[in-house]
Amino acid sequence: MYYRSKRIAIAAVLSGLFCAGIIPVQRARGDFILWGNEELTVNTSHDNGQLYDHSTAHIVPDGSVFELHANHSSTVDLSGGHVSYLYAYDSAGVDMSGGITGLFPNFIYAYGSSTVDLSGGSVSSFYAYNVSVVGISGGSVGALVADNASAVEISGGEVNGLETREFSVVDLSGGEVDTLYARDSSTVTFNARDFRLGSGLSLDGNRVLGTGTLSLEWFDGTRWGVEIQRNDPGATIRLVPEPTGLALMLTALAVAGLLLPKNRFKRSKPM
């Protein structure tokens, strides 16, 4: 935890130096705009990229975009390389399985019913707004903010700091979250077992009151703990000691052999 926090602090300092122009950044020039069903494999450096309609940008190793905007129902497929600022709007989709690594910080902003799947790579700051949907099954996130009725499901990976706000809903069934700040009218649900409440925490039914250290065991047997540093009266932190109805349904389908392969549900790419 100490070393992750230290790396994030270093990245923040470097970001300030970068923004002040003290540290020059080499970026090859070549902006791009995609429309319709256009696709582009990004394997060089660009200042700015704009995606519209059902277009797709594939960011691969050696590719980089300083600022990338995904609009409408466009798709960003990020398997390597680096994007400093990634914005997803209006039902756009982001599938991130790698990349965005290095000392310089990077940001993802999800707005307006956009969808982000994170299974690998690293992100310094991740903001989910306006009914956006986020799934995290791998990779690492420095700071994750869920706001304005966004929905986040965390089943793996690492999140250093999680902050929930204004009607956002976060479900956790795996992975690691170091610190939790539950604000406003947000809801955070831990789907796990063998809960242990540290000093400062108490239970009202299945609702956690107060602040302190909460430890638990995921259903795969992994032991884990989170430091709850903020727990507003209007916020709800819930403990669910058994799989949710959705998890039970998926398990039943798998046993019956009716569950389709996972890639059947992946966001389709334009031909």
Distance set, CA 8 to CA 11, 18, 143, 154 (Å): 5, 15, 9, 21
What's this model's pTM, rounded to 2 decimal places?
0.79
Answer whether residue 254 shows pLDDT above 70. no
| For range 97-107, the mean pLDDT | 72
Distance set, CA 31 to CA 26, 95, 100, 201 (Å): 15, 21, 19, 52
Kindly state the percentage of the chain with pLDDT values over 70. 76
Phi, psi of 68 (to 5 degrees): -125, 125
Q: What is the mean pLDDT of the chain?
A: 83
| For range 117-124, the mean pLDDT | 94
Taking the C-alpha atoms of residue 39 and residue 250, their distance in angstroms, rounded to an integer, is 34
Q: How far is CA 187 from the centre of its chain?
A: 17
Model confidence pLDDT, tens digit, residues 149-158 = 999 999 999 9
Taking the C-alpha atoms of residue 53 and residue 45, their distance in angstroms, rounded to an integer, is 23
Answer whether residue 25 shows pLDDT above 70. no
Largest CA distance in the chain: 61
Least confident of 30-34, 77-81, 146-150, 186-190: 30-34
| For range 94-117, the mean pLDDT | 85
pLDDT bracket for residue 269 (50, 70, 90): very low
pLDDT bracket for residue 100 (50, 70, 90): confident
Q: Which residues contact 246 (CB under 8 A, 6 or more apart)?
A: none
pLDDT bracket for residue 105 (50, 70, 90): low
